[in-house]
Copies of this chain bind each other. A is one copy, B any other.
Amino acid sequence: MGVVVNLDSGKREASIKPLVELTRTDMGRVNELILSKAGSDVEMIPEVANHLISSGGKRLRPMITLAAAAMFGYEGDGHVKLATSVEFMHTATLLHDDVVDESDLRRGKKTARTIWGNQASVLVGDFLLGQAFRLMVEVGSIDCLDILSSAAAIIAEGEVMQLAAANNLETTEDEHFAVIKAKTAALFSAAAEVGPVIANASRADRAALRSYGINLGLAFQLIDDALDYGGSSADMGKNVGDDFREGKITLPVILSYRRGTPEEREFWKSAIEQGSNGDEALERAINLMARHGAVADTIARARHFGEIARDALAPLPNTPQKSALIDVIDFCIRRIN
């Protein structure tokens, strides 16, 4: 039986442990498949792929796929392939992202591009995306293929949207939601939805998991954005101020800019658009965010999406999987404390 945890009650600490426990056996198979399918006679491919794959990501997305399939009584092994496929799509995106963002660090480790170059990162990303599609094709479900291939195109579309909006402080909150919905939430949504699809669950069950995924993804990204300007970063392999130094438009920045005085807006322009983003500027940015409640309200928006994700699952029977997936929402939001 699942235990429903109230988001704000704090009765017990929500964590991803239940999800990790429930999916342990299947994740063992996912990890084997990852190693085998990231392999190639072309030496550079497993080198680059494993560098990122073994860099300590939580593998949240494949665990969601596994739990979402088990939740509806799925008993085959297609969910293991789909989960691997989802993780490969995620890894490919990270490889390409680091090239696009010119990032030197990810999760506290050097990025692949700083070790093997942009070229290898682009191409190994392409290879992993190809392997992801092969795995889906092996499963043979046209509905799953439809969901995951659409996600692939939408993710790329979101990344281009982000690139086009780069450094643009006039970006509205809604425009920003459209970007993170595409670049982050679409994959969470696809990861969750293929579970009921492969298990032949009902249309309503599919819609429930899809809605859970998209809203969890939005909450996840907003908390990520908030963490860049404070909160405990030990878990993140991310240093406070990374987004700021890259001039990234995130919700805390959008809110601070829109709520700021004309003089404050000049500060944001010099910091985000013109790159005056040293330590002193970061300190001022964090102070301005505190004054305008920008980080607090980013977290409030994340809670809003988190609650929609929770309600999406509400009508489903209480199962350990449902409980574990709800804990994931709380875990994502509590990361910020």
Contacts and interface: CB of A to CB of B under 8 A. Distances in A.
Given A130-B156, A153-B130, A44 B146 contact: no
Question: Chain A: interface residue count, which band?
Answer: 35 or more
Interface in A120-163: 120, 122-124, 126-127, 129-131, 133-134, 136-137, 140, 142, 145-146, 149-150, 152-157, 159-161, 163
Contacts of A124: 156, 160
A153 B131 contact: yes
Given A100-B123, A122-B96, A130 B159 contact: no
Contacts of A156: 123-124, 126-127, 129-130
A137 B140 CA distance: 11
A287 interface: no
Contacts of A42: 157, 160-161, 164
Nearest to A45: B160
The secondary structure that dominates the A interface is: helix
A44 B161 CA distance: 8
B134 A149 contact: yes
Interface in A241-259: none
Nearest to A159: B123
Interface of A: 40, 42-45, 96, 99-100, 118-120, 122-124, 126-127, 129-131, 133-134, 136-137, 140, 142, 145-146, 149-150, 152-157, 159-161, 163-164
